[in-house]
């Protein structure tokens, strides 16, 4: 009986150990599943991060390209602006030179006009003197004519 008791105890202990092993195995399986799920989530996150890195790298390269294009466009615009400024300055200088020529011509014409005006004033003064002389002569001749008329009338009355 003792042997049977020992066998029974050994079997019970073995069964208990098997049950405990099953519980442990179930727990390990559960924890392994959770760990696998966490690992899968981590892999998914890593894949997402890798995609984000690729997107950022692509964006960085595109931004670098865009920056180079902007720089080239800015340089081109700078050249255009410089050319427009040069054209504007050249036009302004040309206009200034033409204005100088026009002013010189106007000054010359003004001088000639002034001289002609002075000559005209002199001529007008001379004409005015002639008119005064004629007027004086006319008045004198008019007086003389009245005297002659009066004499003629007095002669006809006699």
Cα–Cα–Cα angle for 115, 118, 121, rounded to 5 degrees: 150
Residue 25 carries which DSSP code?
H
Summarize pLDDT for 1-11 with one digit per residue, the tens.
Answer: 778 888 888 88
In the chain, where the domains are located: 1-118
Summarize pLDDT for 71-119 with one digit per residue, the tens.
Answer: 787 777 778 878 887 888 888 878 778 877 777 777 677 677 777 877 8
pLDDT of residue 82: 81
Give percent of the chain above pLDDT 90: 0
Per-residue b/e over 89-124, b at no fewer than 16 CB within 10 Å?
eeeeeeeeeeeeeeeeeeeeeeeeeeeeeeeeeeee
Cα–Cα–Cα angle for 7, 12, 14, rounded to 5 degrees: 90
| pTM score above 0.85 | no
Give residue 15's pLDDT band: very low, low, confident or very high (50, 70, 90). confident
Give long-range contacts, CB 8 A cutoff, 24+ apart: 131-138. Answer: none
Top pLDDT among 66 and 19 is at: 19
Give residue 155's pLDDT band: very low, low, confident or very high (50, 70, 90). confident
């Amino acid at each position: 009986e003792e042997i049977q008791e020992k066998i029974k105890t050994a079997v019970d202990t073995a069964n208990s150990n098997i049950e405990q092993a099953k519980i442990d195995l179930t727990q390990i399986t559960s924890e392994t599943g959770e760990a696998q799920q966490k690992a899968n989530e981590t892999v998914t996150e890593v894949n997402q991060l890798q995609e984000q890195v690729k997107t950022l790298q692509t964006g960085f390269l595109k931004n670098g390209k865009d920056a180079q294009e902007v720089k080239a466009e800015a340089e081109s615009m700078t050249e255009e602006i410089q050319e427009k400024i040069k054209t504007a300055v050249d036009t302004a200088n040309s206009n200034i030179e033409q204005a100088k020529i026009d002013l010189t011509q106007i000054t010359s014409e003004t001088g000639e006009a002034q001289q002609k005006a002075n000559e005209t004033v002199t001529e007008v003064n001379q004409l005015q003197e002639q008119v005064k002389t004629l007027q004086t002569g006319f008045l004198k001749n008019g007086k003389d004519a009245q005297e002659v008329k009066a004499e003629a009338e007095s002669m006809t009355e006699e």
